[in-house]
């Protein structure tokens, strides 16, 4: 009986693993929701960024809570510091920026995406450095590029890894080219892009 019980448990575990691996569209939405699709798509198009890269940063920073405020004052979906956001807004010619506008999903996502694009250009598409800078500033990116991700402080190291893992999850669940609106999932495509080349 004990052997039979063990076999049943093993088969159940195999079934669960198979379900999780091959049917992410069924369970994925509950774990990784996708909100503000149109705003994400608009910014992805404007700044030439992967839509699920932006989405992963939003999920990691705020879990899609547009009113999130951190202990250091970062605000909104992409947890932007008001001074940083103001600088980005100025670079985009947004003369009417106010701190309160960081609670507007469209504005927050646009400014956060523009900031990611600035780092993308600065670090030539090195996503580890982009994310280290986004979380810990230029000094963190410098540490990463000279000493590797393991030399980062715990918070920034964790942020870089979480965003990359969540990006992969969104690629697997929704596909890389999902569209806006409230329609069904996109078709699942290949797993996380091999083009990251992150060391």
Q: Which residues are catalytic?
A: 61
Tokens of 2: 């004990």
Helix (H) / strand (E) element for 14: namely: helix 2-22
Query: How far, in Å, CA of 103 to CA of 180, rounded?
Result: 21
Query: How far, in Å, CA of 156 to CA of 176, rounded?
Result: 26
Query: How far, in Å, CA of 123 to CA of 133, rounded?
Result: 10
């Amino acid at each position: 009986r004990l052997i039979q019980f063990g076999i049943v448990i093993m088969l159940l575990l195999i079934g669960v693993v198979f379900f999780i691996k091959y049917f992410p569209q069924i369970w994925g939405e509950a774990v990784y929701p996708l909100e503000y699709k149109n705003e994400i798509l608009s910014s992805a198009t404007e700044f030439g960024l992967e839509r699920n890269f932006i989405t992963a940063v939003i999920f990691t920073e705020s879990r899609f809570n547009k009113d999130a405020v951190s202990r250091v004052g970062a605000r909104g979906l992409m947890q932007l510091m008001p001074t940083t956001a103001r600088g980005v807004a100025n670079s985009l010619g947004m003369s009417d920026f106010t701190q309160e506008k960081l609670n507007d999903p469209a504005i927050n996502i646009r400014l956060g995406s523009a900031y990611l694009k600035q780092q993308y250009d600065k670090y030539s598409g090195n996503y580890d450095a982009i994310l280290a800078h986004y979380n810990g500033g230029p000094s963190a990116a410098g540490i990463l590029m000279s000493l590797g991700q393991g030399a980062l402080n715990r918070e920034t190291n964790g942020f870089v890894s979480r965003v990359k893992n969540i990006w992969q999850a969104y690629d697997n669940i929704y596909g890389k080219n999902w569209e806006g609106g409230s329609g069904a999932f996109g078709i699942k495509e290949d797993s996380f892009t091999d083009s990251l080349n992150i060391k």
